[in-house]
Amino acid sequence: MENGKELKRSLSSFQMEMIALGGTIGVGLFLGSSSTIKWTGTSVLLAYLLAGLVLYIVMRALGEMLYVKPIVGSFANYATKYIHPVAGYLTVWANVFQWLTVGISETIAVGDYMHYWWPGVPTWVTGVIVLILLTLTNLVTVKAYGRLEAWFSIVKVLTIVFMIILGLLMIVFGFGNHGHAIGFSNLWSHGPFFAHGLKGFMFDLSIVVTSYQAIEIIGITAGEAAHPQEAIVKSIKSIVARILIFYVGAIFVIVTIYPWDKLDTVGSPFVETFAKVGITAAAGIINFVMLTAAASALNSGLFSSSRMLYTLAQQKELPPVFLKLSKNRVPDVSVLAMSVGILLGIILNAVLPLFWKGSENIFVLVYSASTLPGMVPWFVILISQIKFRKQNPDLMKGHPFMLALSPWSNYFAIFFLLITLVFMVINPTTRVPLAIGFAFLFLMGLLYFWTHRRDAKNN
């Protein structure tokens, strides 16, 4: 708050759902589905369902707290209040780091997708243009941001739904396959259910869990919802089911239509599915959808991380200028700060290869490093909710949106996430990105204790 002003509450429950979908259903589903299936075969369906159960527990735990107190930067504030101030501090910076790296990668991806139609224009130029347009949208009003994100999400959702329907028609009726029903035999005809054993399945879980990250953005939007309690209940009840249907449904169709061990020869399963039924512009359609998916993730990142910088300023961990609100009650300094950070990353990505040979993949590594910081909000939500209940027994009487079987459901989810991290350490592919994430959180923790110890001495 500044000069009696607060962030404006103007997001509807539909926009909150679309924002969460936009942050969660990204390019990974359209491009990365083949990779997750290759790790573990048809048991990838079990991986998405298990991770979905953890997702449900996390969101119900968050919803229980949000129903009582819907505030900006919710889970970071809960971490500060119910765990320790350093937990809230690290949660905010983890979220900022996650969205900064994702924002850089998605902006670069936007340029790559634009290259499909304008091959003569440098990819960084189109990426920067889209970044500027999305920044301006975020600076206008939160309602304008919500509307744009809703349209981005609708494009992705309709594509996935259409793909699932077409896939089921192929499987059951042979539509697009000369009238010969594909059937369900591909689910068991190409090796065991756990194609690469338990280790392969556990390695796959880290990718699957990462694909669900950012759904907790509902907790950030709650501070700007028009009717927070009603919107929170409605959004959380529907969002988890929708994400599970879209992810599990799409993956089910893919592994049923295409032998999982032959997906390398298929290319994009989405493009191939549309092409099978005679949609000749399939490649262009999916490219457009992936463009909106990347722009959507960038848009969500600007919103989420700017509100987290605002939260840090509220906690006096950043200068008061980050509390500044525009006449439309948008934290414009925070939005611009994140945009500048992403812009610097794009410039570095374009310039660095000219001076440092072999640096072309540096941002792929940094993007992967966002996995652990992306899990931090989940841990703090699960732990905060346990302490929230203990400290507020009166608020639990008649509470209409409580997490079932808590705290045991919390312990199960925490154990699941910890086991996933252990296998990320074992897996050579994820070990280095995980170490980068750990190093970032460790350094920020040291910075917190150093600055607070210095301030205590000065006082």
User: Given pLDDT bands bounded at 50, 70 and 90, which one contains residue 154?
Assistant: confident
Q: Which of 28, 40, 47 is CA-nearest to residue 270?
A: 28
pLDDT mean across residues, the chain: 83
Written as six digits, the tokens of 275 are 């092409």
C-alpha to C-alpha distance for 158 and 250, rounded to whole angstroms? 12
User: Given pLDDT bands bounded at 50, 70 and 90, which one contains residue 1?
Assistant: very low
User: Given pLDDT bands bounded at 50, 70 and 90, which one contains residue 31?
Assistant: low
* pLDDT at residue 293 tops 90: no
Specify burial of residue 276 (Cβ count, 10 A radius: 0-12, 13-18, 19+).
middle
User: Given pLDDT bands bounded at 50, 70 and 90, which one contains residue 223?
Assistant: low
C-alpha to C-alpha distance for 413 and 353, rounded to whole angstroms? 41
Residue type, 324: K
pLDDT tens digits, one per residue of 225-240 = 666 677 777 777 777 7
Cα dihedral 259, 262, 267, 268 in deg (nearest 10): 30
Which has more pLDDT, 61 or 217? 61
Give 254-285 as a 3 state SS string.
Answer: HHHHCCHHHHHHCCCHHHHHHHHCCCCCHHHH
pLDDT of residue 409: 96
**Other CB atoms within 10 A of residue 370 CB:** 25
pLDDT of residue 26: 64
Express the helix, strand and coil content of the chain in percent, nearest 5 each: 80, 0, 20
User: Given pLDDT bands bounded at 50, 70 and 90, which one contains residue 224?
Assistant: low
Instruction: Kindly write down the DSSP assignment for every residue of 108-173, as one continuous string.
Output: HHHHHHHTTT-TTS-HHHHHHHHHHHHHHHHHH-HHHHHHHHHHHHHHHHHHHHHHHHHHHHHHHH
C-alpha to C-alpha distance for 267 and 66, rounded to whole angstroms? 42
User: Given pLDDT bands bounded at 50, 70 and 90, which one contains residue 2?
Assistant: very low
Q: What is the mean pLDDT of residues 45-71?
A: 88
Helices vs strands, H then E, count in the chain:
18, 0
C-alpha to C-alpha distance for 291 and 118, rounded to whole angstroms? 13
Written as six digits, the tokens of 262 are 């032959």
Token pair 């941001």: residue? 145
- CA Rg, the chain, in Å? 22
Residue type, 111: G
At 213, is the secondary structure helix, strand, or coil?
A: coil
Residues of 28-61 as b/e, b for ≥16 C-beta within 10 angstroms?
bbbeebbebbbbbbbbbbbbbebbbbbbbbbbbb
Which has more pLDDT, 67 or 365? 67
Q: Which residues contact 7 (CB under 8 A, 6 or more apart)?
A: 72, 142, 223, 224, 307, 310, 325, 329, 330, 331
Whether the model pTM is above 0.75: yes
pLDDT tens digits, one per residue of 407-434 = 999 999 999 999 999 998 998 888 888 9
* pLDDT at residue 56 tops 50: yes
User: Given pLDDT bands bounded at 50, 70 and 90, which one contains residue 132?
Assistant: very high
Q: What is the mean pLDDT of residues 139-153?
A: 80
* pLDDT at residue 264 tops 60: yes
Torsional sign, CA 37, 57, 20, 310:
negative
* pLDDT at residue 104 tops 90: no
Q: What is the mean pLDDT of residues 261-268?
A: 74
CB-CB contact of 222 with 71 (8 Å): yes
Lowest average pLDDT, out of 22-26, 59-63, 104-108, 181-185, goes to: 22-26
DSSP bridge partners of 225:
11
C-alpha to C-alpha distance for 193 and 255, rounded to whole angstroms? 12
Q: What is the mean pLDDT of residues 55-77?
A: 82
Q: What is the mean pLDDT of residues 119-135?
A: 87
C-alpha to C-alpha distance for 347 and 360, rounded to whole angstroms? 13
pLDDT tens digits, one per residue of 331-355 = 899 999 999 999 988 888 777 777 7
pLDDT of residue 23: 64
pLDDT of residue 444: 94
Instruction: Kindly write down the DSSP assignment for every residue of 26-93, as one continuous string.
Output: -HHHHHHHHHHHHHHGGGHHHHHHHHHHHHHHHHHHHHHHHHH---TTHHHHHHHHHT-HHHHHHHHH
* pLDDT at residue 139 tops 80: yes
List the end-to-end C-alpha distance of the chain, in Å, as a whole number.
25
DSSP bridge partners of 2:
5
* pLDDT at residue 4 tops 60: no
DSSP bridge partners of 11:
225
| Domains by residue range for the chain, with CATH | 13-458 (1.20.1740.10)
| CA distances in angstroms from 442 to 17, 218, 224, 449, 451, listed in the order given | 33, 27, 31, 11, 14
